[in-house]
Amino acid sequence: MANLYDYLAWRGDVPFGVAPFNEIDAMIAARLAYLPFEGVMGQKAFVPVPFEQVASTLLIKHEAGALKLTKNQLNLLSAMQGAERFRPLEFLYYVNVFDEESETQFAAVACRVAPELYFLAFRGTDNTLVGWKEDLNMSFVSPVPAQKQAVKYLENAVRIALQLADGEKEVRFIVGGHSKGGNLAVYSAAFASEGVQDLIERVYNFDGPGFDGSVISAPGYRRISPKLSTLVPQSSVVGMLLEHEEKYTIVKSRGQNLRQHDTASWELDRSGFIQVESVTNASRFVDYTLKGWMTELPPDRREKFCDAVYQILKDTDASTLRDIGRNKYSSLRKIILSIRSLDEQTRQDINYCLRLLLKSAKLGMVRMVQEK
């Protein structure tokens, strides 16, 4: 079946004036939020930069070794460069906040699709330990710093876009992101002012986690919920975390297990994503297990567990998960030493949480059997 690269080949020569911006375009734009825009423009630059300049500059710097692009980023930029459909894109107002002390990892960029239409793209979790720790924090803290940053970013981006339009055009906004970026997109729209909410046309959450009850019950979330589009792959794990009040679309994916989180594995045709009726048994099992675990485990104990695991990983002297993977044996040795150095109370807390997780997994399996 076809994926986003086939779509770029099929629709790359069709301008937005002929075939309007759609959910697949939104998914592609959300992937662009992972690009290192600091290699092209300074943070909070208000002068729009054409897509061709962004792509060519990043590719040249990658070839020169001035910055490192992933294989997925290289493939996407190369494919999009030959697509007339995306030639009009312009980028501005790039913000990247990374702070280890406050455990904050946030980035977003505004993409001007047309003079009257903007896509505000929120970056998902990067490969840093800090980024993953902030994700874990969502299980016991609301809001986390990135969510606060997202609301601030949305309000500022709308203000800047309206200033650029100078009243000549009626400006509309689409907000979206992948993984944590999808969560940030929804959160920013839910807690933006009513005036900003009125300007939002659609909010896309591509396999991003949900929220706790305090967010879902908020008046702003209720107002924006009719504009939410949540899409998850059939074996979704990340997108099933926490709670989703809104309905979600289940997309067929060619990937295996967690690799389905990569939207390049999602199947589509010329009209949209290929949908299936339900998530897989594996996805439901993980969903039941984690939700049951969180129900049984109070927020303060979740926090202690997450902090302990984070500290163990930090003791490897790695800053990213990739660093741990590159130095498997050294990292494993340091992890063992870190575990041995834990005080007795912390060790008991970790053991309790793991026993509870195992119990929740058993109950999840029983539920799966009963449903079958």
Task: List, in order, residues 6 or more apart from 152 with CB less than 8 Å away.
Answer: none
Whole-number Å distance between alpha carbons of 206 and 229: 8
pLDDT in tens, the chain (372 residues): 899 999 999 999 999 999 999 999 999 999 999 999 998 988 888 899 999 999 999 999 999 999 999 999 999 999 999 899 999 999 999 999 999 999 999 999 999 999 999 999 999 988 888 988 888 889 888 899 999 999 999 999 999 999 998 777 789 999 999 999 999 999 999 999 999 999 999 999 999 998 988 899 999 999 999 999 999 999 888 877 777 777 889 999 998 888 899 999 999 998 899 999 988 888 888 888 988 888 888 989 999 999 999 999 999 998 888 888 888 889 899 999 999 999 999 999 999 999 999 999 999 899 888 887
| Structure tokens that stand for 163 in this block | 């200033």
Name the helix (H) or strand (E) containing 43. none
How does pLDDT run across 242-300, given as a tens digit for each residue? Answer: 777 778 899 999 988 888 999 999 999 988 999 999 888 888 888 889 888 888 889 89
**Are 191 and 218 in contact, with CB atoms under 8 Å apart?**
yes
What's the length of the chain?
Answer: 372
Domains of the chain, by residue range, sit at 4-279, 287-371
**Which amino acid, residue 333?**
R
pLDDT for position 165: 87
pLDDT of 169 reads 77
- Closest-CA residue to 6 (of 206, 279, 254, 182): 254
Q: What does the pLDDT look like over 37-66, one tens digit per residue?
A: 998 988 888 899 999 999 999 999 999 999
193 residue type, one letter = S
The predicted pLDDT at position 218 comes to: 95
Phi/psi at 90 (5° precision): -135, 150
Is the sign of the CA dihedral 97, 191, 273, 113 positive or negative?
negative
The H or E element that residue 300 is part of is helix 299-314
| CATH class name, domain 4-279 | alpha beta
Q: Can you give the C-alpha Rg of the chain in angstroms?
A: 21
pTM over 0.75: yes
